[in-house]
A and B are shown apart, each in its own frame.
Chain A
Amino acid sequence: MDLIWEGLRKALELLLTLDPEVLRITLLSLKVSGLATLLSVILGLGLALGVALNEFPGKRLVIALLNTGMGLPPVVVGLFVTVLLWRNGPLGFLGILYTPAAIILAQAVIATPIVAGLGLAAFQHLPPGLRLQILSLGATRTQMVWMLLREARLPLLAAVMAGFGGVISEVGASIMVGGNLKGSTRVLTTATVMETSRGNFDVAFALSFILLLLTFGVNALLTHLQQRERPR
């Protein structure tokens, strides 16, 4: 128990003193996972809409693949992204391996199927005739898509939260493609792993508490967005 209390005390100290290293790691975590989530929302919701609004051969297979993708192991993603970005790899020319951009890419690969899978379920849960109803009221295709997004906003924001939760907490891919380089690619999860391996449990606990706080903060904001404007 002492270790936990010590961790809490240390976390408070690091937060209150605005420890520059901790601040940098926290902000980088937020930036990297935030951008990865944003990318996954654009790609994932686009994919979900494409699958939901169109009939094509193999649709069930695509849905099954998306659902499987929701459980992609981060280390597998880390391995594939590392190979892709390796100096001689297909995307090696980008030169982004061991940079925050590589972590964003890997995390986006992890979050996209989560957002797409849950987003697709959200669209499929809408009443089947809703799309025709919207069109029959004179909406253009863009207006129809916007209205569907609005109607599914509760489960869609849950999908975004799940996507963000998936990447802010993952460590395998971030270490593999980022390298946990101090001042460059060290994020909260990779730093926690490193401090734990070094036996610095108080710092590891402090970083974990900050991670929890950050996750709570972002989800509280998304929940606020999700629940506002609900007419009584």
Chain B
Amino acid sequence: MSAPETLLEAKNLVVRRGGVPVLQVTDLALHRGEVLALIGPNGAGKTSLMLALAALLEADGSLSFEGEALKAPAMRQAYRRRVTMVFQEPHLFDTTVHENLAAGLRWRGLPSRVRDERIQTSAARFGISHLLDRSARRLSGGEAQRTALARAFALNPEILFLDEPFSALDPPTRAGLLEDLGRILSETRTTAVFATHDQGEATRLAHRLAVMSAGRIVQEGSLAQVMNHPEDPFVAAYVGMETLAQGRVRAAVDGLLTLDVGSRAIWALGDAAPGQAVLVGIRPEHVTLSLQTDNTSSARNQLPGTVTKIIPCGPFHRIELDCGFELSAWVTPQSLSELALEPGRPVVAAFKATAVHLIRTGGADTEL
């Protein structure tokens, strides 16, 4: 398999506001055909990074597209005609949906036949063909964001920047649009950068993940790499590693570790020395619950505990347990009722030694 082609590369990007750096990204590459999600809390610098990458915000450092540095204003303008951006607000123009889709095409001087063809295709893709003659001011939130996306796709962008495009939508509308966008991105093989603070959206759309905090990328890698092997507690918490507990290595034999966590001992895989202080991370979807110890299971960790809290989270419930330390597990409503889970109920929580992720306290990640 050939190495992925780098489409856009940013080096030493620094954006300052009032002389103070609000974004500092040393190295970021975007490969053709991939979807890169930028996740992080509000104020982490996601929008600034997107604007800088889209040549809409002046930044120190270098930005290269297809290997060519984007320095001169004319080059940046030409680059802006090959990429586009969809914002949190649809920012539709006060005219019809059709004219909204036509605007960017008109600015590129495309003939009306080509314009109409592109508009029809893009509108059909996002299911808004019946709205083309309607005033953009008379659209619902979902229809408006569909129009904004169709307007962007009509330009056949080589890179599509999406800045939290669903955050203003209600959950059912968001789910439908996310589904459609995922399908269209994959059908058109459009390269995209997608900013969100919702890890669910990121995992649904992205191939790669970059976690941002305080204007910096704190970890970047494939979806599986970042989700399962966060390098620090911030990333771990942000990518949904709900159980994070302080521990210490008691023994290490051939890569199999025994860890003291709270009042319990758990098994983990990894390379650490006895006495080493670690942070133990366990994803809630990797924990199973049962009413008794299962001796036939391959899960090395089977910890008796008590349900302390049950929190409904849409299609599943989050169960908080006291197993000598706080542990979270996700269960379906069916399991909740079959196991008759309720606060105070004794259960056994099971997870494999390979599901335990260790972060050296104050040090680098250790893979387990």
Residues of A bordering B, CB below 8 Å = 127, 129-130, 132-133, 135-140, 143, 147, 150-151, 229-232
Contact = CB atoms under 8 A, between A and B. Distances in A.
A178 to B, nearest CB: 41
Interface string B59-91: 000000000000000000100110111010101
A133 B95 contact: no
A125 to B, nearest CB: 13
A147 B93 CA distance: 9
A150 B93 contact: yes
18 contacts: A127-B91, A129-B87, A129-B91, A132-B51, A132-B56, A132-B87, A133-B87, A137-B84, A137-B151, A138-B80, A138-B81, A139-B103, A139-B104, A140-B107, A147-B103, A230-B94, A231-B96, A232-B135
A132 B155 CA distance: 16
Nearest to A128: B89
Contact of B56 (A130, A136, A229, A230): A136
A133 to B, nearest CB: 4
Contacts of A229: 95
Contacts of B87: 129, 132-133
A227 B317 CA distance: 54
B73 to A, nearest CB: 9
Contacts of B107: 137-140, 143
B74 to A, nearest CB: 10
B267 interface: no
B80 A135 contact: yes
B108 A133 contact: no
Contacts of B161: 136
Contact of A138 (B91, B94, B104, B134): B104
A151 B84 contact: no
B54 interface: yes
B135 A231 contact: yes
Contacts of B136: 231
Majority secondary structure, B binding face: mixed
A232 B138 CA distance: 8
Q: How large is the interface on B (under 10, 10 to 19, 20 to 34, 35 or more residues)?
A: 20 to 34
A135 B84 CA distance: 9
B93 A127 contact: no
B103 A137 contact: yes
B89 A136 contact: no
Given A139-B107, A143-B107, A151-B93, A133 B135 contact: no
Contacts of B155: 137-138
Nearest to A229: B95
Contacts of A130: 91
Contacts of B54: 136
Contacts of A230: 94, 135
Nearest to A133: B91
A136 B84 contact: yes
Nearest to B93: A151
Interface string B103-120: 110011000000000000
A136 B80 contact: yes
Contacts of B89: 127, 129
Nearest to B90: A133
B77 A140 contact: yes
Q: Which of B81, B91, B138, B155 has the most A CB atoms < 10 Å from its CB?
A: B91
A200 B137 CA distance: 54
A155 to B, nearest CB: 12
A132 to B, nearest CB: 5
A135 B56 contact: yes
Contacts of B134: 231
A151 B137 CA distance: 12
B300 to A, nearest CB: 52
Nearest to A152: B94
Nearest to B81: A138
Nearest to B85: A136
B15 to A, nearest CB: 14
